[in-house]
C-alpha cells in the first residue's frame, strides 16, 4: 500500500558535490606505482588513518555496558559484519570491518588490533566509497537513522442515540502523524507500520448492547514510505477508529457505564525486515505491550470436581 502523504523538503547542505581523485592505474605487469610506498606508510601508521577520529576504547566498553541493560537496545538494529580493504584517495590501504554509518562518515574497526575510527567517506577513493555506500544501502541497520515522530489525536465525528434511558455514543478518532528524517542519509525502500492500541469494553448494534473484545486491542496498517532526504517531512492521517460509550441511569438500582478508550499509537519504521526506529505516544502505559499482541498467554485448565475426587477431599 502506498502512503498518501504530504512530503516537505528541507534545506540539504549535505548534497554539495564532492570531487574525488581517480583510482590509481595498474600496469600490465601487475605493478601499481602507489604500492611502492604503501607498506612503509602502513608501518608508520599512515596519516590518513591517523587523522581519522578514533573511538576511545574506554567509551566503547562503557557503551557496551549501557546497551546490555537498556531495554530499548535489545530491539536496536545491527548491521552484519562486513570486512573489506579500503583505499584512500591517496592510495593508502587498510583492511577494516564496517561497523555503522551516519551522514557522510563511516565507523570502522581495524582488523588486527580492533581499534575503531570514524572516517569521512569523501576521503575514500571512488571504488571504496561506492562499496561502503552499497553496504549502507543493503545492510539492515548499517545507517544509524534518526527520526522525529509526532502523533496528534483528533476527533473526526461523533453521534449520540438515546432510548429508554440508555445513552449510546459513538466517536470516530484519528491520528495525524508527522515523521521527519533527521539523518544526513537518503531513506529509500522503507515502510511505516503503526498500531493504535485501545480498550474495547462495549459494543452495540442499534439498541443491543454487548461486551467488547477486551483490553489492548490493536488496529493499524503497513504502508510504503516515499524517498526521504535529510529534513524531509511526511504527514498523514490514520483511518478513523470508532469508540463507543454506553450509559444507563435507572430510577432505581445501580448506574451502568462502559466505554472504549485509546491508550496510544505505536509507530515503527522498517527496512528489509529490520526496525530502524519506533515511537510510542505514551511509553508509560504502553511499555508492557507487545507488537500485534504476539505474546501468548499461559492458560491453565482446572477441574475442581476431578481434583477433589482424585485427592479424596469432600
- In the chain, which residues fall in CATH 2.60.40? 147-293
Per residue in 193-241, pLDDT (tens digit) is 999 999 999 998 877 889 999 999 999 999 999 999 999 999 999 999 9
Query: How far is it, in rounded angstroms, from Cα 260 to Cα 242?
Result: 9
pTM: 0.60
Per residue in 45-103, pLDDT (tens digit) is 444 554 555 655 544 443 333 233 233 333 334 445 588 899 999 888 989 888 888 77
- In the chain, which residues fall in CATH 2.30.30? 37-138
What grid cell was written down for 292?
Answer: 500485534
pLDDT surpassing 70 at residue 3: no
Q: Which of 157, 166, 183, 171 is nearest to 243 (CA)?
A: 171
| Domain 37-138 class, CATH top level | mainly beta
The domain over range 147-293 is classified in CATH as 3.40.50: no
Amino acid at each position: 500500500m502506498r502512503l498518501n502523504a504530504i512530503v516537505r523538503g528541507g534545506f540539504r547542505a549535505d548534497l554539495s558535490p564532492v570531487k574525488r581523485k581517480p583510482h590509481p592505474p595498474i600496469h600490465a605487469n601487475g605493478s601499481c606505482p602507489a604500492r611502492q610506498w604503501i607498506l612503509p606508510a602502513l608501518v608508520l601508521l599512515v596519516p590518513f588513518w591517523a587523522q581519522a577520529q578514533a573511538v576511545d576504547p574506554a567509551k566503547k566498553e562503557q557503551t557496551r555496558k549501557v546497551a546490555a541493560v537498556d531495554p530499548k537496545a535489545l530491539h536496536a538494529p545491527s548491521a552484519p559484519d562486513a570486512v573489506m580493504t579500503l583505499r584512500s584517495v591517496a592510495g593508502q590501504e587498510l583492511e577494516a570491518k564496517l561497523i555503522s554509518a551516519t551522514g557522510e562518515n563511516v565507523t570502522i574497526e581495524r582488523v588486527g588490533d580492533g581499534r575503531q575510527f570514524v572516517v569521512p567517506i569523501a576521503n575514500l577513493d571512488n571504488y571504496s566509497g561506492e562499496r561502503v555506500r552499497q553496504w549502507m544501502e543493503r545492510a539492515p541497520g548499517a545507517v544509524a537513522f534518526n527520526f522525529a515522530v509526532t502523533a496528534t489525536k483528533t476527533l473526526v465525528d461523533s453521534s449520540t442515540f438515546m432510548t429508554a434511558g440508555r445513552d449510546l455514543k459513538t466517536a470516530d478518532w484519528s491520528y495525524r502523524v508527522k515523521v521527519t528524517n533527521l539523518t544526513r542519509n537518503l531513506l529509500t525502500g522503507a515502510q511505516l507500520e503503526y498500531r493504535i492500541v485501545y480498550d474495547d469494553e462495549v459494543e452495540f448494534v442499534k439498541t443491543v448492547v454487548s461486551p467488547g473484545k477486551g483490553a489492548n486491542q490493536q488496529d493499524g496498517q503497513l504502508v510504503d514510505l516515499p524517498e526521504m532526504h535529510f529534513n524531509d517531512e511526511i504527514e498523514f492521517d490514520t483511518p478513523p477508529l470508532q469508540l463507543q460509550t454506553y450509559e444507563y441511569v435507572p430510577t432505581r438500582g445501580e448506574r451502568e457505564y462502559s466505554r472504549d478508550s485509546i491508550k496510544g499509537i505505536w509507530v515503527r519504521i522498517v527496512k528489509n525486515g529490520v526496525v530502524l526506529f519506533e515511537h510510542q505516544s505514551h511509553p508509560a502505559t504502553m511499555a508492557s505491550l507487545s507488537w500485534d499482541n504476539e505474546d501468548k498467554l499461559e492458560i491453565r485448565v482446572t477441574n475442581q470436581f476431578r481434583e477433589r475426587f482424585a485427592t479424596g477431599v469432600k
